[in-house]
Amino acid sequence: MLPADGILLQSNDLKIDESSLTGESDLISKNVDSDPVLLSGTYAMEGSGRMLVTAVGVNSQTGIIMTLLGSGKNVDVDGDSSSKSNCFS
């Protein structure tokens, strides 16, 4: 599993499983020229590569998603914030 977000600097037939973030079941080919972005929480399934880390922890894309999911706030159609427990009342 990739522990951080980053930019691919070097790759050798690198294929990534991004299903944990995108739901896409096909492996994604990554290379420096056309698709260099790597995201934490995804898996390197084939090949190898080197990346420059750009974000870790709560600053990574996975961290941002987890923070938003755990915030406990929802916005109803009137634009008022309410807690999760009041979401369906």
Domain parsing of the chain, residue ranges = 1-56
Closest to 36 in 3D by CA, of 22, 21, 16: 16
Residues 6 or more apart whose Cβ sits within 8 Å of residue 42: 1, 2, 16, 17, 18, 20, 21
Tokens (6 digits) for 88? 């369906």
Residue-level pLDDT at 71: 74
R_g of the chain computed on alpha carbons: 17
Q: How confident is the model at residue 83 (pLDDT cuts 50, 70, 90)?
A: very low
CB 64 within 8 A of CB 28: no
pLDDT at 30: 97
- Give pLDDT tens digits for 5-55: 999 999 999 999 999 999 999 999 999 999 999 999 999 999 999 999 999
On whether the CB atoms of residues 87 and 77 are closer than 8 A, the answer is: no
The pTM of this model reads: 0.74
